[in-house]
Chain A
Amino acid sequence: MNPLLEQFISESRESLQGIGEKLMQLEKEPESSELMTELFRFVHTLKGNSGLFDLPELTRVLHAGEDLMDAVRNGEVAYSPLLADRLLDAMDFVGLLCDEIDTNGSTDAKHVNNSVRLADSLRQLIVVIVPTTEGASSAVVNELPIVPEQPDPANQLPLSDIPEEISMAAYRAAVTGKPLHWLAYSPVEECFFQGDDPFYQARQTPGILWGDITARTPWPKLAELDPYCCVLDFSILSTATLEELQEYYRYVPDQVRIIPVPGSFLILPQGEPNGGPVYEDFVADALKMLHANNIAGLTHATRSMLDVSNPNLWLSAALRWLLLVIELEPDNVFVCERILLSLRTMTPPVWHELAGGCDTRINGDVNSELPHNLAQEESEPVPAMLSPEVTALIAAQREILSLPDDIAWLAGRLKSVAASLSGCLHAIGANGIIQSLGAALDEALAQRASAPLLHWLDSHFKPSVDAAPFLPQSVQPATTTQIGQSVEEVKYGRRAEDSYSGPKSIKVDQVKIDRLMNLIGEMVVAKNALPYLAGRAENVFGVRDLSREIKSQYAVINRIAEEMQDTIMQVRMMPVSFVFQRFPRLVRDTSHKLGKEVNLILEGEETEADKNIIESLGDPLVHIVRNSLDHGVEMPDVRRALGKPATGTIFIRATQEADRVVIEIRDDGKGIDPEIIKRLALEKGIIDNERLERLTDQEAVNLVFAAGFSTASVISDLSGRGVGMDVVRTAIEKVNGTLQLESEKGRGTRIRLSLPLSMAVTNVMIVESNNQLFGVPIGSVVETVRIPRADIHTIKKNQATVLRGRIVPLKPLNSLLGQHVPPRANEEDELAVLIVSLGDESVGIMVDNFRETVEIILKPMTGVLAGLSAYAGSALLGDGSVLMVLDIKEIL
């Protein structure tokens, strides 16, 4: 998942929580316009963000929510608990989608239905009070969008418009198990302005067999025609599955109705209704053969009849259909019979009316919803074909009977139900069972309960139809997916009892992390007390075993503490991209301002370091990059004249090397001229003539880091305010970083910053001097040597020694700290010298003795001690004593 989406998810969760809270607060004070505005802003932001991604389901719901909240905010719609309910529902849905995106990276097209339903339920609330007059929302509202899963029954479709060969192909497809769907696609009027091309959309429908375009309204005169107001309706017959179609039309689900069509519904012969009863003989013969299961004979007879008939006749069309049915479904006697019977009337069979009782025979694969009536037909005199009205009526009676019985007017209710049913039975010609109905009624009246009647109803009409009594789809076959969806629809939302998949990241106040950091620091110190204890146990109390045990315990605690420290450190890690991300803009703007062409290349943005380190990097880096832009990269024409590409390049790369982050900034500009630097340094009094002679070019270049050095002759508003690179150096050194500059005149400059990954733990070497312990950061220690007193020479007042052919100045630590005690030598009259690096030079510090190196948590000096610049800070040692850590650069 890309970081943008990740952020969106985490922000969305926050917004959702915010929306939930605001809604709760609103329940208490529904008049608060402030809360309302905040609520609107949440929804608005959420919707805006979702638009960045390809999440139509999400955006649709949020858009509706935004519209609604806008209306509420403007006082057009009053706040109501219903509104809150629906909004919360919608937000639950959004949360659900967020979870799904989180796990799968995208949302499933199956959510289209819920999305449309929720969006509609929200929009309905807007319409109640403010009937919008125009715009997208009104079009949607007025059209009463029909969710694809609740389509009109297939029986009202103009299936006869489909040409015979396509109907036959579709029927063939249906028989071979393919789904058939009728799509009614009514694009909104302003769809052209939204960049839609509904015609193209329709043409590309998956599994398209046939399509038709009709105009919704009669065409006006050409002079009054607005060609950009879409009034076209598209009808499409497709063999794609419901899911495929929903996926394909997922952006306009409110404009599309998808209706499953049983294959047999397409058997609609068309043609000249010439002739008439002339065919009676044929029909009679054919029926006889059909019932005798003489398929071969029937085929033969049909073919001969077809041969002698005009192919344009209605009769011929019916016969062609008959042949097709015999070919594809030779067992489907029912359909064949209907086709033959229809020859008598010259009207196509009304399949949907027959559908109730002829499921398996009409189309076994689609019509599996209503298998019950077929079974009834044999045993009970209930007609096989129940029209939708009858089914609905029976379902309604069943519903009435399911109501609680504890009412005074139960008898009246029972009687009325019985009367309805009896009338109904009469109408469908099922007179045979009216009597048993009467018996059931008597029994019910006697028991003062609905049960007997209900039982009667169940035994004669199977209750499977009653799931949705008044919906036309009870007649119309529903596929299993639809059932699945309607069940899901009831419970998509999440409530308290559902398990939440919590967010993967948490926001923590930095103070808490710092506290954790301090605690682990103290833990490390406390842990370090154990070896002392072990030592005491052995030396003072003389219990060796205990000492060993303490040491082994210490090893365990040590391991855990180190891991803990590592982990806490990880928490504080941040990628350098945090700093890098500002550079593209900075380089672009600055180079524009300067009229230079610069190409910025960033590498290693994912390299991580401690938050403090990263933050301290920001300003120095900006300074360095500005310097490169301002002083480094030349103007395009200068560059061209020098034979360089007109566009300069600034290259910033971050890498991790052991426990340090290295950042390299390189440009291919004019570089630094050591001669100019030397001259300037002399002018500014940073170096004297004598030193000028000895400076190498590399050393000269590094003078830019000297305090008070700025090479720019003109102070621009970008860089060169006189604060120069020494500020950069100071900032980097403050976080124990080092910085290297290499430059080649005419070729470019390279600056290398090396920073510790984390500054929490410092390694120091403990030295002893004048009976005191001091810490020296290990980073500045080059080596430790013991030098015989004889090898120490005094030059003027300064002491020095020759170490491996180089003169190293020596300074006693005591005198550096203002103590007039000479350093102590050991038995062999050797002095302990700590060689430390100071920039490019090495200096020897004379101490009394070396001790071990320890990891400490360096605490900066605070309060009155803050003024003591000789010390970088203090730390607690394992035995509880305080160690002062020297700031070598300051004391030398």
Chain B
Amino acid sequence: MAITFKKDRIVFSDVASGEDAERLLEWLQKHPKAKIDLSACTHLQPANLQVLMAAKCSIIAKPKDKLLADWIDSALQLI
């Protein structure tokens, strides 16, 4: 399970696949305030990324991979 849905947080680990994006979208529709924890994430299938971008999620933990973190910053315009 690459995405774990907790009460107010969504925790990504390893690689989030294309199928995960659908559940992510559903969850975010129900919990628009959910915070995103990407610390253990190594890659996101871009559909997930699109959901995160559209939902304007707030990231509470960036990926450990600096380059991935930069990409996600740029995508979510956190720079």
Interface pair B68/A203, CB less than 8 Å apart: yes
We find that the number of chain B residues with CB closer than 8 angstroms to chain A is: 28
Tell me which residues from 203 to 233 in chain A have a Cβ below 8 Å from any Cβ of chain B.
203, 208, 210-215, 219-220, 222-223, 225, 227-228, 230-232
Interface pair A222/B25, CB less than 8 Å apart: yes
Does chain A have a CB within 8 A of B50?
A: yes
Tell me which residues from 45 to 59 in chain B have a Cβ below 8 Å from any Cβ of chain A.
45-51, 53-56
Interface pair B49/A232, CB less than 8 Å apart: yes
Does chain A have a CB within 8 A of B38?
A: no
C-alpha spacing A231/B47, complex, angstroms: 10
Contact of B74 among A200, A208, A213 (CB under 8 A): A213
Instruction: Given A192-B46, A192-B47, A228-B47, answer yes or no on A220-B68 (Cβ-Cβ < 8 Å).
Output: no
Instruction: Given A197-B45, A203-B67, answer yes or no on A227-B74 (Cβ-Cβ < 8 Å).
Output: no
- The residues of B that contact A492 with a CB separation of less than 8 Å are none
Does chain A have a CB within 8 A of B8?
A: no
Interface pair A223/B53, CB less than 8 Å apart: no
Does chain A have a CB within 8 A of B14?
A: no
Contact of B47 among A203, A208, A227 (CB under 8 A): A227
Does chain B have a CB within 8 A of A432?
A: no
Distance to closest chain B CB from A542 (angstroms): 99
C-alpha spacing A455/B29, complex, angstroms: 71
Interface pair B50/A227, CB less than 8 Å apart: yes
Interface pair A223/B50, CB less than 8 Å apart: no
Closest to A213 in B: B75
C-alpha spacing A215/B28, complex, angstroms: 19
Instruction: Given A220-B54, A222-B54, answer yes or no on A227-B29 (Cβ-Cβ < 8 Å).
Output: no
Interface pair A163/B79, CB less than 8 Å apart: yes
- The residues of A that contact B18 with a CB separation of less than 8 Å are 192, 228
C-alpha spacing A529/B51, complex, angstroms: 92
Distance to closest chain B CB from A697 (angstroms): 66
Interface pair A222/B28, CB less than 8 Å apart: yes
- The residues of A that contact B35 with a CB separation of less than 8 Å are none
C-alpha spacing A212/B49, complex, angstroms: 13
Does chain B have a CB within 8 A of A198?
A: yes
Instruction: Given A211-B71, A212-B74, answer yes or no on A200-B43 (Cβ-Cβ < 8 Å).
Output: yes
Contact of A197 among B46, B50, B53, B56 (CB under 8 A): B46
Interface pair A219/B46, CB less than 8 Å apart: no
- The residues of B that contact A279 with a CB separation of less than 8 Å are none
Distance to closest chain A CB from B18 (angstroms): 6
Interface pair A227/B71, CB less than 8 Å apart: no
Interface pair B54/A225, CB less than 8 Å apart: yes
Does chain B have a CB within 8 A of A199?
A: yes
The SS class assigned to the A binding surface is: mixed
Interface pair B68/A219, CB less than 8 Å apart: no
- The residues of B that contact A192 with a CB separation of less than 8 Å are 18, 45-47
- The residues of A that contact B68 with a CB separation of less than 8 Å are 203
Q: What 0/1 pattern do residues 143 to 185 of A give for CB contact below 8 A with B?
A: 0000000000000000000010000000000000000000000
- The residues of A that contact B53 with a CB separation of less than 8 Å are 213, 215, 219
C-alpha spacing A225/B44, complex, angstroms: 18
Tell me which residues from 574 to 601 in chain A have a Cβ below 8 Å from any Cβ of chain B.
none
Does chain A have a CB within 8 A of B10?
A: no
Closest to B44 in A: A199
- The residues of A that contact B75 with a CB separation of less than 8 Å are 212-214, 232
Which of B24, B28, B71 gathers most chain A CB within 10 Å?
A: B71
Distance to closest chain A CB from B50 (angstroms): 5
Instruction: Given A192-B18, A213-B74, A228-B21, answer yes or no on A222-B29 (Cβ-Cβ < 8 Å).
Output: yes
Contact of B51 among A211, A227, A230 (CB under 8 A): A227
- The residues of A that contact B45 with a CB separation of less than 8 Å are 192, 197, 199
C-alpha spacing A223/B55, complex, angstroms: 10
Distance to closest chain A CB from B48 (angstroms): 7
C-alpha spacing A208/B28, complex, angstroms: 32
Distance to closest chain B CB from A268 (angstroms): 15
C-alpha spacing A210/B71, complex, angstroms: 8
Contact of B46 among A214, A222, A230 (CB under 8 A): A230
Distance to closest chain B CB from A725 (angstroms): 59
C-alpha spacing A219/B50, complex, angstroms: 9
C-alpha spacing A622/B22, complex, angstroms: 55
C-alpha spacing A213/B47, complex, angstroms: 13
C-alpha spacing A228/B49, complex, angstroms: 11
Interface pair A227/B44, CB less than 8 Å apart: no
- The residues of B that contact A231 with a CB separation of less than 8 Å are 50
Contact of A223 among B29, B44, B49 (CB under 8 A): B29
Q: What 0/1 pattern do residues 53 to 79 of B give for CB contact below 8 A with A?
A: 111100000000001101100110001
C-alpha spacing A537/B41, complex, angstroms: 99
Interface pair B74/A222, CB less than 8 Å apart: no
C-alpha spacing A200/B25, complex, angstroms: 21
C-alpha spacing A214/B71, complex, angstroms: 10
Closest to A225 in B: B54
C-alpha spacing A223/B67, complex, angstroms: 31
Distance to closest chain B CB from A145 (angstroms): 21
Distance to closest chain A CB from B25 (angstroms): 5
- The residues of A that contact B47 with a CB separation of less than 8 Å are 192, 227-228, 230
Closest to A195 in B: B18
Interface pair A222/B32, CB less than 8 Å apart: yes
Closest to A222 in B: B29
Closest to B49 in A: A199
Closest to B20 in A: A227
Interface pair B50/A225, CB less than 8 Å apart: yes
Instruction: Given A203-B68, A211-B74, A213-B74, answer yes or no on A227-B43 (Cβ-Cβ < 8 Å).
Output: no
Closest to B79 in A: A163
Interface pair A227/B70, CB less than 8 Å apart: no
C-alpha spacing A215/B21, complex, angstroms: 17
Instruction: Given A163-B79, A199-B44, A200-B43, answer yes or no on A213-B29 (Cβ-Cβ < 8 Å).
Output: no
Distance to closest chain B CB from A46 (angstroms): 33
- The residues of A that contact B49 with a CB separation of less than 8 Å are 199, 213, 232
Distance to closest chain B CB from A202 (angstroms): 8
Closest to B56 in A: A219
C-alpha spacing A211/B79, complex, angstroms: 13
Closest to A210 in B: B70
Q: What 0/1 pattern do residues 788 to 829 of A give for CB contact below 8 A with B?
A: 000000000000000000000000000000000000000000
- Interface pairs (20), CB distance under 8 Å: A197-B46, A200-B43, A202-B71, A203-B43, A203-B67, A203-B71, A211-B70, A214-B75, A215-B50, A219-B53, A219-B54, A222-B29, A222-B32, A222-B51, A227-B21, A227-B50, A227-B54, A228-B21, A230-B46, A230-B47
Q: Which 3 A-B residue pairs are closest in the complex by CB-CB distance?
A: A213-B75, A219-B54, A199-B46
- Contacts A225-B50, A227-B54 supplied; 18 other A-B pairs, CB < 8 Å: A198-B46, A199-B43, A199-B49, A199-B71, A202-B71, A203-B68, A212-B74, A212-B75, A213-B71, A213-B75, A220-B54, A222-B28, A225-B51, A227-B21, A227-B24, A227-B47, A228-B21, A230-B50
